[in-house]
Amino acid sequence: MSDFVVGGVKIPSRLIIGTGKFGSPEILSKVIEASGATMATLAIKRVDVKDGSDNILAVLKEHKMQLLPNTSGAKTAKEAIFAAHLAREALDTNFIKIEIHPDERHLLPDPIETYEACKQLVKDGFVVMPYIHADVVLTQRLADVGVACIMPLGSCIGSNQGLKSEAFIKLILDVVKLPVIVDAGVGSPADAALAMQ
């Protein structure tokens, strides 16, 4: 299997860990060890001055993970661009996963705002990894502006419905040479294996 390279950086494992669903940092630590994953996503939020923050960063650094900050919570391109620049200052990384979902119920990505954010952030020197619908036309447009990969959804975030978009993901693979990382909806190891295939 060829090396998995995003933004010029070789990622030893093709499995990326999302950090939003673990009950404790200890469980996350065990999952990292068991999975062999080397990249993990994390979010940037305004500090609760009273409560401080979780210690997610310490856990990820302990495991020497490649950090992939995301813009979750952003509803517009402007908000995502702001979050990306904050993450760069906080982590000294140019990697950014673009998530723009104005619909809080289904967390579906806004293609127009995502495109605008990607266009600007590529210009700003980021390694841009956008979460999108499995949309071939949008993928081509994003490839043209210089994103490092695309992250099409398998199905709705957190739905555990698996690869409902499989046929469209196959079309994307036919059309672009970018790395394609299936994101969202993966509910079982079988779903993950299918995505890898």
Partner 1 sequence: MVVQYRLNDKEIVSDKVNLKDLLIEQGLYKDSGVAVAVNQVIVKKSEIDSLKLQDKDCIDIFTMVAGG
Would you name the residues annotated as active-site residues? 97
Rounded Cα distance between 118 and 33, Å, is 32
Maximum CA extent, the chain: 50
Instruction: Print the binding letters for residues 22-41 with partner 1: x by CB under 8 A, - otherwise.
Output: x-----x------------x
Tokens of 41: 């996503």
Q: Would you say 3 or 89 has its CB closer to partner 1?
A: 89
Instruction: Print the binding letters for residues 92-131 with partner 1: x by CB under 8 A, - otherwise.
Output: x----x-x--------------------------------
What lies within 8 Å, CB to CB, of 40 at 6+ separation is 16, 17, 18, 19, 32, 60, 65, 66, 67, 68
Four-residue CA torsion sign, 49, 54, 58, 60: negative
Applying CB under 8 A, the span of 52-60, 139-147, 163-171, 188-196 interacting with partner 1 comes to 52-60
Applying CB under 8 A, the span of 65-73, 115-123, 174-182, 187-195 interacting with partner 1 comes to 65-73
Rounded Cα distance between 39 and 67, Å, is 6
Binding site for partner 1 (CB under 8 A): 18-20, 22, 28, 41-49, 53-54, 56-57, 68-70, 72, 82, 85-87, 89-92, 97, 99
